[in-house]
Chains A and B, each alone.
Chain A
Amino acid sequence: MSFRRIPLLFVLIMVCLLCLPTRKTIGGDDWLPIDPADLKMTSEPKAPGAPAIYLYRQVDRKDSGRANTEHNYVRIKILKEEGRETANVAIPYLSDNTKIVNIRARTVHADGSVVNFDGKVFDKMIEKTKGTKYKAKVFTVPDVQVGSIVEYRFNYDFEDGYVFSSYWAISDDLFTRKAVFSLVPYPEFALRWEWPAGLPAGTEPPKIGTDKIVRMTATDIPAFQAEDFMPPENELKYRVVFIYSEDGFEMDPAKFWRKFGKKENDRMESYLGKKKELEAAVSQIVSPADPPDVKLQKIYAHVEQLRNLSFETRKSEQEEKRDKLKKVDNAADVLKNGYGSGYDITWTFLGLARAAGLESYGVMLSRRNEYFFAQTRMNKRELDSNAVLVKVNGKELYFDPGSMFVPYGLLPWQESSVKGMKLDKEGGSWIQTPLPDSSASQIQRAANLKLDDEGTLQGTVKLTFTGLEAWSRRLREHNEDDEARKKYLEEELKSYVSAAIEAELTNQPDWKSTEPPLVAEYHVKIPGWVSSAGRRALLPVGIFAAPEKQIFAHADRVYPICFAYPYQKKDDVTIELPGGWTVSSVPASLDKDAKAAEYVLKVEDKKNQVHILRTVRSDLFLVPKDTYPALRTFYQIVRSGDDQQIVLQPGSVAATH
């Protein structure tokens, strides 16, 4: 559990400089009255089993330009021993422009007796750099027992003359019975607020009252908890974000995005301005007689060879200075210098495609690893990844060569199946990027193995990664050397097998290319894979099935299930049996086609060999929580299939029969 009990993030953007301080803080020694029922309570039915819950949270922020302050009040009920850790409090702050004042805390026991905090508040340095000191006020509340109520309050006092954007953290890792928020906005600036992940059920959105104060009350806020395959936290954690602007806000999303689109389009067109240089360059890359798709492939391959600065090891200022890299202002600069950022390379690809006469557009995309884009949020930061749309032979194809190693015709998974904006001078139009088919990204495992009399499998395995499976591995190992890559690939193969396995990589995979599949070849030994059962020997069919062993084991699910991209795993395993051994039986063929996912298992007896074909196909992307049981059942079927065994008759025994 997180130690931070303070639902605050702070200090985002300095918006304005004002003058003259008159400090005033909310304080006093008054505590809110406690309901006797809260003293006696031993559990919260809406959070069964919770070690502690927030009974009450309050955040009151006043942005007046002078004496800006934020009062925080927290009341926690301790329900279990482990909940006592919540009495350790750390309040982080930037000491350069923020102070924490008026810290008060106390413990109220179940019998109503009170122990006031009179201990030391420590000022802990978290990070000190040249410009800033990031610190935390740290204290612990005394005499905390199961049944106690811990409460504390304090004020953030912000430096005069500054107005900071603020943030109401609604979700926390504890259940909250009631949370009350208010903000007195700085009157000279326009203020906009949004709740990007929605609000807890039954919560009225924040509203500004006639007194010019923005208020919101939320009740029964569930505790946030992480799950495997969950959507990005940004989409799940309830929060309200306030943004100030000197220039006011556009309230109409259509107008907002049109303005954004025009601006981005101008930037892009300016970047692609030196058309003659681009035309000269493209004439060296393609032949006028090339069909459009060939031209495009040649251009893609060309820009993929450019030095991509975005994926190099992070460099210090000194190194960057010494590198003397020339400034890149436009696509022609990228081609002349031979390098650029990922952003530069993608726009350069666009410039070259246009120069080759291909109908091409710049697009701005969101990235679904961080958020699921929503126009209504009017957040430019959510549409910050550039890509290219090209119409070839009547088809619309998307490209992001700046993301490095992405095979032709694919986008990085974060940019697939997302909303984006096709840029034009009118302000752009909305598009949806495609989700690739599972056949585009495969892990193929071809094994030729021999079984010995001791039950050990030995032979060769060839792994072939295609599409995004190859991309992710090439990108991951991009800055590593051969030794590290070898270890990585050997560990990868071992992770597929749920038994001890010796694996030695025997080839030199092509790590540097983008298009060809990534191929790894091994010599392997799996001791004792076959077990004996009296006169028979049993050979499990799911040799490479370990990754599916533990997936979705839990019956309970809180959030939707989010997969990165569709994929296929295809296993083709041939096992040669020892001389004289025969196959008694093989598992029946299985084809569980659940449309968006499929599991196929086929085992063939080929005299002195067995042949196992196994496919797991997933065309899943975002699965609603309600469908989780069906998804779990599918993977249970996969595991059941993988657990099946081929019954063998060892030679000597067969001979005696």
Chain B
Amino acid sequence: MTNRLSCSQDPLQPRTKTGTAALKAVAFAAIVVCVFLPAIPKAEAADAPAWMHALASAPLPKHDEKTEAVLLFSEEILIVQPNGRTKEIDRTVYRILRPGGRHFGKVEVHFDGETRITHIHGWCIPAQGKDYEVKDKDVTENGLLGLQGGELFSDHRVKVMEIPAPDPGNIIGYEVEHEDRPYVLQDEWSFQGTVPVALARYTLQLPAGWEYKAVWLNHPETAPTSAGNNQWVWELKDIPEITREDSMPPWHGVAGMMLVAFIPSGGGAHGFLTWSEMGAWQSGLLQGRLEASPEIKQKVAELTAHATTPMAKMLALADFMQKDIRYVGIWLGIGGWQPHAAPEVFSKRYGDCKDKAALLSVMLREVGIQSYYVLIDSERGGVTPSISPHLGLFDHVILAIRLPDGITDPRLLATIQQPNLGKLLIFDPTDELTPFGSLNGALQASYALLVTPDGGELTQMPQLPPSTSGTWRTAKLRLDSQGALRGEVQDERLGDAAWWQRGELRNVEKDSDRIKPIEQLMARSMGSFEISKATVTNLQDPMLPFGYQWSFTAQNYGKFAGNLLLVRPRVLGVESSGLLETKEPRKYPVEFPGPRHDHDTFEITLPAGYEVDELPPPTDADYSFGSYHSKTVADGNVLRYTRTYEIKQLSVPISQADDLKKFFRIIGNDERGTAVLKPAGH
């Protein structure tokens, strides 16, 4: 479950909803209205309930021979009480089709401090023999001990139930009932999963006089049927599965779901209907958290004492936030959404993304610079302009800094022009490796909630030019008559390329391991090599380009073929990809991590007595999403290979998948290209 601003980058997962308590109810009038839960049929000892047995002969949804299981039935019954609390019953029934589907027998129910699981029960109807049953007492409970990545403590826990005999041919099912205290009156019905669904049903029971607003994602809108007494039922049949693919958009970007906001009668707090309302709610959580203590004021004065310009002041404060405030996440209750008070974060010198954004905002204000909270998803593609406001969409907080008029520093790249607030610099204080002024590729071009003084609005983050990120590699090399290649390489990385490499080296325990990435790079491109000298530059300073410099000797790089000598001019680096070389046709867009511009220049001085006989042809590939150009020329006794690889479109739609596949194949062909040398004068 991702219902907190936790900076986590979860892999593609359906966001299970039990424990949506993160969305806190604001005060409600205490109108006493009885809402009765549908009775849970009591199972006979070890017998699955009748509703599950009724599905034993249900037709299967459309599937193929690779399908591991099908979801025969999923039901979510949500009863909203007049006090804003909810009760929910979830029922799920799978038919297991293949051994790989056995994992559906392990059921994980995520919950937190705002959720009380009142009932959990599972069954298996085997193809032969009596039913199996799992009762509450057989369920184990896990917390997540995950201090890596900075999470220290949260009230997030998991009930784990293992249903017996989840074997092919058998039917397994479970029922979970829980009570929640949501922070916001909203819900999310995720009806599409990783296996085909035969029937999905969502029942909403609202108190009398309440209304709802539903918005559909990745699925045509479907009208509910009324069951009377303000009860609404949505049903969907034959929902295809989401197939996992590498570099696909996040779950919210591809899976069908319905977001629903509840509107109490008589006004008062309600589910978010506009982005402005959601922004106002977030602003409310910041109340009292953004005060500057005397210690903060003193530190700001100290840090900016020698800074004479607004840019210098911002740099000093951002540097303090990136280097001196350690990332530590403590998420309890509303703490998943509300930052700790800035003075507390300052005195402890640690906090999570919300805390760091809040403290930086306070410090900037002390030097006269305004800034605004930005709620964002750490994966691009899940939030689109057509989506409706919903807290579960975001898992990270960054800052939009109002740039003082007249600032034109070329380092300020990640900017947007906001009609009311002016020019804003988007900055992620949690990201210690991306320099002030820039923005990590994963956040670029994303839609995020800008929290403004009068509410908030969905705003697209900037996309930086490709030239701001990438690798510039140059090598001056000499080939000898035995085929040995030796020389020096300069490798300079900017933007995400530098960010990634610095991240890789963060946890290296000893100096000698810092050249392992070079060794891996070399090993991908040549069979035999020895690195004789290597240095790393600007590892600790993200404001400067990251660099590697090394010298190497590669015996037998040139290969003899009769009296010919074969040399691959593309000495290092692989840009081609097997991403789309799959048996099944691509189903979802390809999301690139960020814009990129790589440039290689390799010069090889040829051995005396040889001359170029043939060169690989130049390559020129231009598409809307990217380009690739390479050229090998002979200049006297020097073979010069140059190439550029550029990604400028971060999302490649499925309609361009074939072009992208072709693009990578063209690159692969170029990377294998060989120059043929012959004895001079022959």
Residues of A within 8 A of B (CB): 1-4, 47-51, 80-82, 84-85, 87-88, 90, 92, 119, 122, 124-130, 135-136, 138-140, 142-145, 173-175, 223, 225, 313, 315-316, 318-319, 322, 455, 479-481, 483-484, 490, 499-502, 504, 527-528, 531-536, 538, 540, 549-550, 553-556, 584-588, 636-647
Contacts and interface: CB of A to CB of B under 8 A. Distances in A.
Contacts of B350: 140, 142, 144
23 contacts: A3-B146, A49-B510, A84-B326, A85-B150, A88-B150, A126-B145, A128-B142, A144-B326, A145-B349, A225-B513, A318-B164, A502-B581, A531-B616, A532-B617, A534-B616, A549-B523, A550-B520, A553-B523, A555-B519, A637-B528, A639-B527, A639-B528, A644-B559
Contacts of A586: 561
Interface in B554-613: 555-556, 559-562, 564, 566, 578, 581, 583, 613
Contacts of A316: 132, 162, 164-165
B323 interface: yes
Contact of A550 (B148, B328, B524): B524
Contacts of B162: 316
Given A483-B66, A534-B613, A636-B527, A3 B148 contact: yes
B566 A645 contact: yes
Contact of B98 (A47, A130, A481): A481
Interface of B: 65-66, 98-100, 102, 129-130, 132-133, 137-138, 140-143, 145-148, 150, 152-153, 157, 162, 164-165, 167-168, 323-324, 326, 328, 330, 347-350, 432, 506-514, 516, 519-520, 522-524, 526-531, 540, 555-556, 559-562, 564, 566, 578, 581, 583, 613-617, 665, 668-669, 672-676
Contacts of A142: 347-350
A584 B100 CA distance: 50
Contacts of A531: 616, 669, 672-674
Contacts of B147: 3-4, 85, 88, 90, 138
A140 B328 contact: yes
A533 B145 contact: no
A538 B566 contact: yes
A310 to B, nearest CB: 18
A127 B142 contact: yes
Most A CB contacts (10 A, CB to CB) among B347, B512, B528, B665 go to B528
B140 A479 contact: no
B152 A587 contact: no
A304 to B, nearest CB: 22
Nearest to A313: B102
B153 A124 contact: yes
Nearest to A487: B66
Contacts of B165: 315-316, 319
Contact of A533 (B323, B529, B674): B674
A122 B168 CA distance: 43
Given A130-B137, A140-B328, A584 B527 contact: no
Contact of A500 (B523, B566, B578): B578
A645 B561 contact: yes
Contacts of A637: 527-528
Contacts of A124: 143, 145, 153
B119 to A, nearest CB: 18
A527 B616 contact: no
Given A313-B99, A500-B665, A535-B614, 13 more contacts: A85-B147, A143-B347, A225-B509, A484-B99, A533-B615, A534-B615, A538-B674, A550-B523, A556-B516, A587-B559, A587-B560, A640-B527, A646-B561
A544 to B, nearest CB: 15
Task: State the main secondary structure of chain B at its contact with A.
Answer: mixed
Q: For the complex of A and B, list the 9 residue pairs with the smallest distance between their C-beta atoms, beginning with the closest.
A: A639-B527, A534-B614, A3-B147, A553-B523, A49-B511, A636-B528, A585-B562, A500-B581, A316-B164
A528 B349 contact: no
Contacts of B347: 142-143
Most buried by B among A47, A48, A481, A500: A500
Contacts of A502: 581, 583
B556 A640 contact: yes
A533 B614 contact: yes
A81 to B, nearest CB: 6
A483 B99 CA distance: 10
A81 B540 contact: yes
Given A528-B665, A528-B668, A555 B509 contact: no
B250 to A, nearest CB: 25
Contact of B555 (A1, A126, A638, A640): A640
Contacts of A318: 132-133, 164
A157 to B, nearest CB: 21
Nearest to B350: A140
Contact of B527 (A175, A499, A638): A638
A553 B676 contact: no
A137 to B, nearest CB: 10
Given A584-B561, A640-B556, A556 B513 contact: yes
B559 A645 contact: yes
Contact of B520 (A2, A48, A138, A553): A553
A584 B520 CA distance: 33
A88 B327 CA distance: 10
B98 A484 contact: yes
Contact of A553 (B510, B514, B519): B519
B512 A533 contact: no
A51 B509 contact: yes
B564 A585 contact: yes
Given A128-B142, A645-B674, A536 B531 contact: no
Given A528-B668, A585-B564, A643-B526, A119 B141 contact: no
B61 to A, nearest CB: 18
A14 to B, nearest CB: 22
Contact of B153 (A51, A138, A484, A535): A138
Contacts of B674: 531, 533, 538, 645
Nearest to A538: B674
A382 B53 CA distance: 49
B225 to A, nearest CB: 39
B107 to A, nearest CB: 13
Contacts of A1: 148, 507, 509
A500 B347 CA distance: 55
Contact of B676 (A144, A534, A540, A588): A534
A656 B141 CA distance: 77
A298 B322 CA distance: 71
Interface centre among A84, A87, A484, A584 (most CB of B within 10 A): A84
Contacts of B129: 322
Contacts of B616: 531-534
Contacts of B523: 549-550, 553, 639
Contact of A81 (B143, B432, B514): B432
A584 B349 CA distance: 69
A140 to B, nearest CB: 5
Nearest to A636: B528
Contacts of A85: 147-148, 150, 326
B367 to A, nearest CB: 23
Nearest to A542: B527
A144 B349 contact: yes
A549 B524 contact: yes
B294 to A, nearest CB: 17
A587 B668 contact: no
Given A3-B147, A126-B142, A588 B164 contact: no
A145 B561 contact: no
A49 B509 contact: yes
A642 B561 contact: no
B103 to A, nearest CB: 11
Nearest to A556: B512
Nearest to A316: B164
A127 B527 contact: no
A643 B559 contact: yes
Nearest to B675: A533
Contacts of A136: 145
